[in-house]
Amino acid sequence: MKKGKAAVIVGAQWGDEGKGKIVDVLSENFPVVARYAGGHNAGHTVIIKGKKFILQLVPSGILRPDCRSVIGNGVVFDPMAFLKEIGALREAGVKVDGNLFVSNRAHVIMPYHRLIELAAENAPGRVKIGTTSRGIGPTYEDKMGRRGLRVADLLDLPLLKIHIENACREKNMIAHALFNSEPLDPDKMFEEYAAASARIAPFVCDTAVLLNQALVRGESIVFEGAQGTMLDIDHGTYPFVTSSSATSGGAATGTGVAPTAIDTVIGVSKAYCTRVGGGPFPSEALDASGDMLRVRGNEFGAVTGRPRRCGWLDLPLLRYAGMINGTSWLVVTKLDVLDELAEIPVCVGYKIDGKKVEDVPAQDSGFGKIECIYQTLPGWQTSSVGTTQLEELPKAAREYLSFLEKQSGTRIGMVSTGPGREQTIMVDEFAAKLTELTGSKTRGQAKN
């Protein structure tokens, strides 16, 4: 039997590119979807027949009844958020039992992680990163400090009790000394998390074994990233980044599947650009056009509701993301948001101190010196909403995509023309690649 292969779906900007919808559309063809990084700070919005699903921890593949969804070891796992999310999915009629699996090696977010992060983010004199204060960073800190609690430990109640007592003693002292925070009660915490562990236990397994066995059986896997390339802990706009490996390389370490199993990397980019929180954003539109993009694109966080900063497509950043991820195909989302514009600025290069530069700066201070070089493209001022065939797009929209493809150096495989599953263009060559990967015939457009 031919061994299965994997594709990685990764954000090519600062997250919020629409990966959730794209994973949902592609999971029709992939029997397994695996999330490899981040925590419940990631919000993936999927709209099916007008019904909105906001997924935070659970992979978007859960909305396909024949697809198995995996939360990998690279994800930081909040038990209470998980139980709340699967409860809402069950109420909506989504099959989670038997279709959803949690790695026994994923690290657990505990209340003291939230306490530390919230206090630190609001501490006087600290540069605000713009975190969701959900305990993501401190959990990764404990993981790398080798003092973390893993899902397997959560199910081991005697160990859980000792761990909570020791952690609360340490974290309460730190929080009180540095931030004058009120102490957490370890006995109450153990009671709550022991009860939660019993409800989580049926979902827990060695997901690395599950995924590798699926590949041996010839099944293909799609890896679902969280956040985006420019939020990667190593390659993003440090320190205004997330705490995990959001790039395609994180798929191997975050799931236990070998890099050699990854056949294709699919980058997802909006037709413009957004970011949430603090940090560099060279092509940010600080005038009325930024407000227009925010309103037309409904650019408010799926998890937090925070308004996103909006700006124009940044091609140097997109080329950088393509290099770091080894992007094979590009998916362009929210093309329809640009429908009303007569002209569309695109950042095609950078200048620093009056000189054109090729590299993306490593430091925040370097980004602060960037002057964007813009090229203005004609708009189409015609609705593209719901278009499902490339040739049916307005001519100027096709030319915009062709320019993006040429300048980024990556083939465009899909274009999203609205939030629904069916509002998607799939290029024939990309559909053929998916058929080659999965062994199942792929239609040239998404099904309802």
Dihedral sign for Cα atoms in the order 303, 304, 307, 311: negative
Q: Report the 3 state secondary structure along the chain.
A: CCCCCEEEEEECCCCCCCHHHHHHHHCCCCCEEEECCECCCCCEEEEECCEEEEECCCCHHHHCCCCEEEECCCEEECHHHHHHHHHHHHHCCCCCCCCEEEECCCEECCHHHHHHHHHHHCCCCCCCCCCCCCCHHHHHHHHHCCCCCEHHHHCCHHHHHHHHHHHHHHHHHHHHHHHCCCCCCHHHHHHHHHHHHHHHHHHEECHHHHHHHHHHCCCCEEEECCCCHHHCCCCCCCCCCCCCCCCCCHHHHCCCCCHHHEEEEEEEEECCEEECCCCCCCCECCCHHHHHHHHHCCCECCCCCCECEEECCEHHHHHHHHHHHCCCEEEEECHHHHCCCCEEEEEEEEEECCEEECCCCCCHHHHHCEEEEEEEEECCCCCCCCCCCHHHCCHHHHHHHHHHHHHHCCEEEEEECCCECCCEEECHHHHHHHHHHHCCCCCCECCC
Would residue 40 show up in a list of annotated catalytic residues for this protein?
no
- The active-site residue, picked from 44, 107, 113, 163, is 44
Active site residue 16: yes
Q: Which two tokens stand for residue 172?
A: 């309460």
Catalytic-labelled residue, pool 16, 153, 314, 336: 16
Catalytic machinery residues: 16, 44
